[in-house]
Structure 1
Amino acid sequence: MYAFQDEFPQVSGLRYLNHAAVAPWPRRAALAVSAFADQNMQLGARDYPAWLVVEQRLRERLRRLLNAPDTADIALLKNTSEALSFVAFGLDWQPGDQVVISDQEFPSNRVVWQALAPFGVEVIQVNLSGTDPEAALLAACGPRTRLLSISAVQYASGLRLDLPRLGQGCRRRGVLLCVDAIQQLGALPFDVQACECAFAMADGHKWLLGPEGLAVFYCRSDLRAQLKLHEYGWHMLEHSGDYERPDWQPAHSARRFECGSPNMLGTMALEASLSLLEEVSMQAVGKALSERMHWLQEGLLALPGVQLLSPAEPARQAGILTFRLAGWEQQSLFARLKAEQVICAPRGGGIRLSPHFYTEARVIDETLALLHQLIAS
């Protein structure tokens, strides 16, 4: 497999296990941004057409990453929350309509639906703690359900859902499926066609190894024109380069959701990061990540006093393992790990560890050894 060390020259002693929050950039992303900054300093926007070529490459990489039918289905937005808001406030809701979500969602995939209360929309939160969370979610989809919005992987527990099963169930019920893919895209293969989703979105700063401030929004082609627009500007027009044109209409493609000037700086970084994932291949990325998750899980379970809060079954895992340690309060353990250069996050009542495909053996071994010391002390 690809030699990762040159791409991730992290500080000696750093144990980075926080890709579910904000990931380090690979070297090539940093170099792309540096080159872009130098070009701006020396030449300004003289070569703007070349920048647009990079932006088009990014759209193509994202299309392949999601297995979207066309780049016209791909919009480049600021973040996942913006994409969810385009869906929530774009659909034509009627009083009594229902949205089904889970009880484990990150606030972005909860408050946006609860904000529809003034329109008479009811939000149904489904408990996922049972043995068949997909069945529970689909059982909650009744005759008034318009949409099921779910995270592919839950941010705190790391629970991965069977998206094709949910997609098939939603199709049979006439329900739209919206997938917050931020904790899966870039970690494991993801396929919008296989899961039959209407919408999918994800920021670039987690498993995609890119910067904050740039996200992908997939909107199924037959639904684009059905989403009412609330943001307008020069970039979202069908004839966006014809500045003197008196008549206008929104772009037929998903660019209709990109109202103004693009984030070219973020584009340079994310396009470079995705080139790495493509070189490795998402199949190889997923396999390497699964190996590291197994290694980390086995090590945690071998430690006395450790309670795993994440699913133990490989089919239910992506890149998140959350655990408790007996005798340690969550924030105290987090502070101690941070002091020892273990970069992680307090989530879901425990400590969340999230390696990536390139994570070195020493990072996992040293983290497990440190936990062993804390237990023994």
Structure 2
Amino acid sequence: MNIANPSQESVEALAAEEFPVAGRHVYLNHAAVSPWPERARRAMRAFADGVTEDGSLHFPDWQAKDAELRQRLQRLVNAESTDHIALVPNTSAGLSLVASGVKWQPGDNVVITDSEFPSNRMVWEALADRGVKVREAACTPAGSADCEGSVLGLVDQRTRVVSVSSVQWGTGLALDIGRIGRELAGTPTAFCVDAIQSLGAWPLDVRAIGADFVAADGHKWMLGPEGLGVFYCAPEWLEELQLRQWGWHMAEPLGDFEARDWRPAATARRFEPGTPNTPANHALEASLAVLQEAGIANVAERIAVRVEHLIQGLNRLPEVAFLSPTDPARRAGIVTARFGDRTEAVYEALRRNNVQVLPRAGGIRFAPHFYNSLHGLDHALNVAADALRR
């Protein structure tokens, strides 16, 4: 395959080779937990076989895989270098690094939206005992026409952080995070992005959007295992963000367990206190290899086609009300719809017929990835139509 510019035929072949789940289910639950590609399964098996048979004999190979994963993540977000990439257990851990590391003063505030997943709300609410206020911008469907304006309208001289999701978890509303970043550039307010519902599905350039911090978990659109995510920290924040966790892995000189004159690493490794999640490193690196072989631009284009296909098909059904935006500029990989008083019945019918979705935001959330077939989407639409006729 020409990795620099793979053909659609090559991407189709890659999808068929890597995702056996497609032969068992119409899997439309990538906004929750994604299936792994075959390559990730093979990588995890090889790692497990090595540990079982040889213990830590292959430790240098583990270190090499760690470095490869950081390089893939650096390219995925266009970070300045791998020095600005930390491996974290999950999105919440990454966001908590920011919440616990900013030098807060009583009276400071944080601006979020009113539609955030708890991970990007609780970490800020937990600062109440330090006198930090949380301001919520109106971005529910009624206020989504100018969510970014609502966010920026709450920023004042005491706003230390603006933290928003690139894509809202329930409705799938895609924010113009570049606009927010441009408006905050040159101000004292840091810009933090929860990218869990877009990273791996859509291109993200942390420098172009002016992000100071980005956090995302690997188990959704990056098609990796649970328990491993990425945290990006902009160069100017590496030493500015206070450390609250300590351990051997975040120290220099790394591996000198007798050192008493240790210091925090000069890179984002300073945010990784202890032993890395080595098995997950192998799986996530393999999953990202699949996505980057397909090309993130191709992945995004194919997801957009599948989202449009779902919207067009759902729009032909009776009693359908979209909770997700239908404007292409406002949507990502999530389509959430309500089916009147038949919503629960439609959900149960989909599950019985091997269509994996979830109830979210008062409707049913469909979240296809690049490998899903249009035939599979049609099966889901037909099941929903049959349930509505009963």
Query: Structure 1 334/372 Cα, relative in aligned 2: closer, same or farther at 3 Å?
Result: closer
Shift of 1:21: 0.2
**Structure-2 residue corresponding to 1:7:** 18
TM-score (norm: length of structure 1): 0.98
Rounded to whole Å, the distance in 2 between the matches of 1:117 and 1:11 is 46
- Write out aligned runs for 1:44-55 (5 A): 44-55=55-66
**Structure-1 residue corresponding to 2:3:** none
Whose helix fraction is larger, Structure 1's or Structure 2's? Answer: 2
Match 1:114 to one of 125, 132, 135: 125
Match 1:147 to one of 153, 157, 161: 161
1:65 partnered with 2:79? no
In the TM superposition, what whole-angstrom CA distance separates every residue of 1:83-127 from its partner, at most 9, and x where no partner exists? 111100111100000100000000000011000000000000111
1:208 partnered with 2:219? no
**Structure-2 residue corresponding to 1:127:** 138
1:230 partnered with 2:238? no
Rounded to whole Å, the distance in 1 between the matches of 2:115 and 2:22 is 34
In the TM superposition, what whole-angstrom CA distance separates every residue of 1:288-312 from its partner, at most 9, and x where no partner exists? 1111111111001111111111000
8 A contact 2:358–2:364 mirrored in 1: yes
**Structure-2 residue corresponding to 1:17:** 28
**Structure-1 residue corresponding to 2:232:** 218
- Write out aligned runs for 1:93-104 (5 A): 93-104=104-115
Aligned length: 376
Shift of 1:13: 4.6
1:375 partnered with 2:388? yes
User: What code does the residue aligned with 1:201 have?
Assistant: A
1:136 partnered with 2:147? no
Match 1:88 to one of 71, 80, 99: 99
In the TM superposition, what whole-angstrom CA distance separates every residue of 1:328-377 from its partner, at most 9, and x where no partner exists? 244x4433321221111111111000000110122200000011101111
TM-score (norm: length of structure 2): 0.95
Shift of 1:14: 1.1
SS at match of 1:24: coil
1:361 partnered with 2:367? no
In the TM superposition, what whole-angstrom CA distance separates every residue of 1:29-69 from its partner, at most 9, and x where no partner exists? 00100111111111111011011111101000000000000
Match 1:336 to one of 349, 363, 386: 349
Instruction: Give me the identity figure in percent.
Output: 47
Shift of 1:182: 0.3
User: What code does the residue aligned with 2:267 have?
Assistant: S
SS at match of 2:216: strand
1:352 partnered with 2:365? yes
SS at match of 2:341: coil
8 A contact 2:349–2:384 mirrored in 1: no
Moved more, 211-220 or 242-251: 242-251
SS at match of 1:159: coil
Match 1:180 to one of 194, 206, 212: 194
Structure 2 residue ranges without an equivalent (≥5): 1-7
8 A contact 2:349–2:387 mirrored in 1: no
In the TM superposition, what whole-angstrom CA distance separates every residue of 1:202-250 from its partner, at most 9, and x where no partner exists? 0000000000000000001111111111111110002111112121100
CA RMSD of aligned residues (A): 1.1
SS at match of 1:147: strand
Rounded to whole Å, the distance in 1 between the matches of 2:113 and 2:33 is 23
Rounded to whole Å, the distance in 2 between the matches of 1:357 and 1:174 is 39
User: What code does the residue aligned with 1:302 have?
Assistant: R
Rounded to whole Å, the distance in 2 between the matches of 1:258 and 1:142 is 33
**Structure-1 residue corresponding to 2:89:** 78
Rounded to whole Å, the distance in 2 between the matches of 1:312 and 1:74 is 34
Rounded to whole Å, the distance in 1 between the matches of 2:128 and 2:346 is 39
**Structure-1 residue corresponding to 2:280:** 266
Rounded to whole Å, the distance in 1 between the matches of 2:267 and 2:60 is 20
**Structure-2 residue corresponding to 1:314:** 328
